[in-house]
Amino acid sequence: MAVMKTRMQPVKKLFQKFPRVARNLSGMLGKEVELITEGENTEMDKSLIEKLEEPLIHLIRNVVDHSIEPPDEREKLGKPRAGQIKPKAYYQGDRVFISVEDNGRSIDVKKVKAKAIEKGIATKDQLEKMTEKEILSLVFSPGFSTADRISEVSGRGVVMDVVMRFRSTVDLFSEKGKGTRVVMSFLLTIGIIKSLLVSLGGRLFAIPIHSVLEIVSGDDALISLVSGEEVLILRGNIIPLINFVEVLGIQTQKVGFVVVVLIGNRRVAMAVEDMLGDEKVVIKPLGKFFGDVEGISGATITGDGSIGLISDPVGLVRYPKDCHQDNKTAGFLCGGRAFWIASKEGA
Amino acid sequence: MEGELFGLPLKKVLEMLRVIEPVPVPFSLPLIKGIINVRGELIPVLDLKSILNLRPTKKEERIIILESPRRKAGVLVDDVYGVIRLN
């Protein structure tokens, strides 16, 4: 336990460096910036905190430099003179999220497109098939460098380095004239999570309880087919059902219960065979032999000595359905979400 | 295994266990049977027969836990006969 305590540290250590960075740079550029941090006591792996320091500072610098407009311009736009930057950390399920939000300019999709073609990150044909979100996520490609100072999206490639090394995701949201939000999520690799133990195909699985919204008895659950996909109809809402055969290769025998989990702002249902109660479980990594298994964040040993696999609802949903591999970065782009397969240790 | 004798360097052998049914992990290599709980430690179990291209006919009776400097793994074997010194 004590070891775990020292390995988990609050992100305060990381966040407390931001004000200085923002102040220095904004002073130099004649901009006004207000920094509002949230969730400073959220704990995460110490090694991850250390590795995130540089990319996040870089990100903050970029926001001040490119996203926040000069005070006069802001005033003309009807925004307060001081731009806001909001770094925030929070838990969801078995993940830690770090987001940086600002209320400056948005990222221009057209510019990203032009730049991507110019730098050879994507071809015109590829770009045409991409959604706006997918195009925005190109910003994180390593080739998208600081070289061109005019670009307002330059230099965020450093973030990707870390994302590539850890099992994480990066999302970029940008609303015209309203600012940009970068959301990173990292899998908790150590620690204790409270989870719901369920059985699937006779195997034990743990679902992080933070993400469980509600549980419906299998007899009452209304499951039907919508365009070939199974969905749960709950009080008039249609909730997609995770197909375990497809995602985990597990054939379930019956539907005992349906667990509705919340991922971001999406609801997803998981049909499980049985429910075995809740337990605080210690996450143990699967180890090097397995590399990264999408949808499984680790394993645990329950009170009676049996092994349960900890499901990662985010990973389950992210399971590549409409993904195409990005050869340049050896990663995937899935529905506008870039994610990378971390290189297997020792390989 | 399957009527043939194999030797494992004793230095690498950590312990031997009676077979515990490994818990399969989705999407792992077919050579990996799953993970087992050895006194609170999760150890992957490898299917040695398929690594050595042996046709499995018998049910394995033992798991031998092997250790290398960086990792531990169990291998499934039919039976264990003893220790011999090879010169």
Structure confidence by residue, pLDDT tens digits, A83-123: 888 999 988 766 788 888 888 887 777 777 887 787 777 77
What is the per-residue pLDDT for A293? 67
Runs of H (alpha helix) within chain B: 48-51
Tell me the mean pLDDT in the region A263-278. 79
Tell me the mean pLDDT in the region A40-66. 81
Contacts of B46 in chain A (CB under 8 A): 289
Structure-token match 């032009």, residue found: A114
Q: pLDDT by residue (tens digit) across A146-157?
A: 444 444 444 445
| Chain A contact probe: residue of B17, B20, B25 with most A CBs at under 10 A | B25
d(CA A140, CA A124): 18
Q: For residue B60, give how far its alpha carbon lies from the nearest alpha carbon of chain A (Å).
A: 21
Nearest to B42 among A204, A249, A299 (CB): A299
Tell me the mean pLDDT in the region A279-307. 76
Type of residue found at A180: T
Question: Could you tell me the end-to-end alpha-carbon distance of chain B, in angstroms, rounded to an integer?
Answer: 23
What 3-state class would DSSP assign to B34? Answer: strand
Subunit contact A307:B35, Cβ cutoff 8 A: yes
Nearest to A305 among B28, B32, B37 (CB): B37
What is the per-residue pLDDT for A194? 77
Subunit contact B28:A248, Cβ cutoff 8 A: no
Contacts of A250 in chain B (CB under 8 A): 26
Q: What angle do CA A49, A54, A58 make, to 5 degrees?
A: 130
Cα–Cα nearest to A139, from A198, A67, A240, A57: A67
Cα four-point dihedral sign A10, A14, A18, A24? positive
Does the structure show a pLDDT above 80 at A270? yes
DSSP secondary structure of A238-251: EEEBP-HHHHH---
Q: At what angle do helices A157-165 and A46-62 cross, to 10 degrees?
A: 160
Q: For residue B27, give how far its alpha carbon lies from the nearest alpha carbon of chain A (Å).
A: 6
What is the per-residue pLDDT for A129? 74
What is the per-residue pLDDT for A346? 27
d(CA A320, CA A222): 26
Does the structure show a pLDDT above 70 at A72? yes
Q: pLDDT by residue (tens digit) across B26-48?
A: 766 778 888 888 887 888 888 88
Subunit contact B73:A289, Cβ cutoff 8 A: yes
Provide the number of CB pairs (under 8 Å) joining chain A to chain B.
59
What is the per-residue pLDDT for A143? 61
Subunit contact A293:B70, Cβ cutoff 8 A: no
Contacts of A284 in chain B (CB under 8 A): 42
- Quick one: pLDDT band at residue A168, thresholds 50, 70, 90? low
Nearest to A296 among B25, B37, B73 (CB): B25
What is the per-residue pLDDT for A322? 44
Contacts of A295 in chain B (CB under 8 A): 26-27
pTM for this entry? 0.56
Does the structure show a pLDDT above 60 at A28? yes
Runs of H (alpha helix) within A63-188: 71-76, 109-118, 124-129, 132-137, 157-165
**In the beta sheet, which residues pair with residue A168?**
A186
d(CA A54, CA A70): 25
d(CA A72, CA A11): 34
- Quick one: pLDDT band at residue A167, thresholds 50, 70, 90? low
Does the structure show a pLDDT above 70 at B16? yes
Residue of B nearest to A203 (CA): B23
Nearest to A290 among B25, B37, B70 (CB): B25
d(CA A195, CA A206): 6
Q: For residue A291, give how far its alpha carbon lies from the nearest alpha carbon of chain B (Å).
A: 8
Tell me the mean pLDDT in the region A1-12. 69
Q: pLDDT by residue (tens digit) across A194-236?
A: 788 888 777 788 888 777 888 888 787 788 777 767 788 888 7
